[in-house]
Structure 1
Amino acid sequence: MGDFGRISVYDALGGGAVADILLWKNSYGSGVFLVVSTILWFLFERGGYNILAFVANNLLLLVVILFFWAKSASLLNRPLPPIPELDISEESVLIAAEEMQVWINHVFSIAHKIAVEGNVKASLAVVSTLWLISYIGSFFNFLTLIYIAILASLSVPFLYDMFQTQVDEKLIVVHKLAHSIHMQADIALQMLPLTHKQKTQ
């Protein structure tokens, strides 16, 4: 835990192998992840290589290697390819289903607020979020957005971990300002029906 009872960035990221990579504690893993992501982005985005052809060619190569490995192993009394038993446990499926259920229920809840309750705040939030995604997406294609997200995931948590105290001080100021604007917007939205009723009377 950090100062003022704050949870550390490492703990917030789960404290495992993913946190080690994102915070560059496992510098080898972080470096490999960055280099592989950059190579793949360059191949597909700048090199014009087709992602479907890339996957198919690699799977084809893997199947051929495994086939000849298995055949040569039986002829030369060599060990078979070290392929583990691929079996997804029922527990893993249930955990994934529970996570999906939470997200789907959240989406349905927002849809209910907009379509049934006519919630202005939820509608504005969804519209502004979708517009922002569309606006950002107009500058980059999907693969470039994924690559930017990877670069951000390898830099933002690391920089925040280094300068957490200074960033938190600025975020507190921004949060107070956003809360003040949000309260004023709520008051304005609550006054709209009253103004409409006064005009109709």
Structure 2
Amino acid sequence: MAEHTEDAASLLDSVLETIHDKLPGHHSSSDSDSDDEKSKKKSEVSSAAASVTASVNRLFGRQKPVHSLFGGGKSADVILWRNKQVSASVLVGATAIWFLFECMGYHLLTLICHLLILSITVTFLWSKGSAFINKQSADIPKVAFSEEMFQNVASAFRFEINRLFAVLHDVASGKDLKKFVVVVAGLWILSLIGSCTSFLTLFYVAFLIAHTVPLLYEKYEDQIESFAEKAWEEIKKQYRIFDIKVLSKIPRGPLKEKKF
């Protein structure tokens, strides 16, 4: 796709040069004017090529950058590895949780109790040790969650639940048969995958995909766009062959005339 864009830009450049040479009074103009016109022409060609690239390099008609598709906030920064330390910490934490629950057989209540025992013991020893060395007790900060934080979390959770119900209502209303078939097929495939593995493993795999695929797509966008375009053309070609050989040979009853 990038090669097509470069060919289009070079073709446009050659055409503009030919037209510029054929214009009357071209040879009588000064060298400075010619240089200015050539620089202006090259800038126009580069801007045209950039606009062609921006309009073509979009997967499935995407108009926004990848960062905007994920909300453009801190979550998008974590997913796209804008801050490598934070993203790596989140990935390591998720991997540790999956390893503890799935591989070592930890339970949630057991893990919470062990973490509380460890944190309380470390804090107690730190307080006693600092008082013994510095002759004064350590200032242990108090941890308290604000009401606003819980309200924001509950509001965001409520919004996502309502949007899910709206999508399910739209699918179940019978307005779009294609969307209904896609949703039912997706849920059926998800149920088959869920029967083969645990929910935690499935969630961890989805978490890994969310932290690797968008980053790779943003890094190798041109190659992926070119491959996706070729794959989509091949899918449409195979569907046309299937339509000619199979679907067109299925007998259909006579269609009734529509009354207007």
Change (3 A) 1:97 1:60: same
Q: Which whole-Å CA distance do the structure 1 matches of 2:165 and 2:81 have between them?
A: 33
Change (3 A) 1:142 1:105: same
Q: Which amino acid aligns with 1:4?
A: A
Change (3 A) 1:18 1:136: same
- More relative contact order in 1 or in 2 (CA 8 Å, sep 6+)? 1
Q: Which amino acid aligns with 1:26?
A: N
Task: List gaps (5 residues or longer) in structure 2.
Answer: 1-49, 59-63, 129-135, 256-260
Report the secondary structure of 1:24's partner residue: coil
Q: Which amino acid aligns with 1:108?
A: H
1:175 CA displacement: 4.2
Is 2:145 the partner of 1:88? no
Aligned twin of 2:200: 143
TM-score of the two chains, using structure 2 as the length reference: 0.54
Aligned twin of 2:111: 54
Pick from 159, 163, 187 the counterpart of residue 102 of structure 1.
Answer: 163
Is 2:54 the partner of 1:4? yes
Tell me the percent identity: 28
1:54 CA displacement: 1.5
| Aligned length in residues | 183
Q: Which whole-Å CA distance do the structure 2 matches of 1:151 and 1:175 have between them?
A: 26
Q: Which whole-Å CA distance do the structure 1 matches of 2:145 and 2:195 have between them?
A: 44
1:87 CA displacement: 0.4
Q: Which whole-Å CA distance do the structure 1 matches of 2:138 and 2:221 have between them?
A: 55
Q: Which whole-Å CA distance do the structure 2 matches of 1:179 and 1:91 have between them?
A: 48
Report the secondary structure of 2:147's partner residue: coil
Report the secondary structure of 2:102's partner residue: helix
Q: Which whole-Å CA distance do the structure 2 matches of 1:27 and 1:159 have between them?
A: 14
1:176 CA displacement: 5.0
Task: List gaps (5 residues or longer) in structure 1.
Answer: none
TM-score of the two chains, using structure 1 as the length reference: 0.68
* Alignment root-mean-square deviation, CA: 4.0
Q: For 1:82-132, what per-residue CA distance to the aligned partner results, in whole angstroms no more than 9, with x for missing partners? A: 32452037973555434432221211221222xxx7x65344323311221
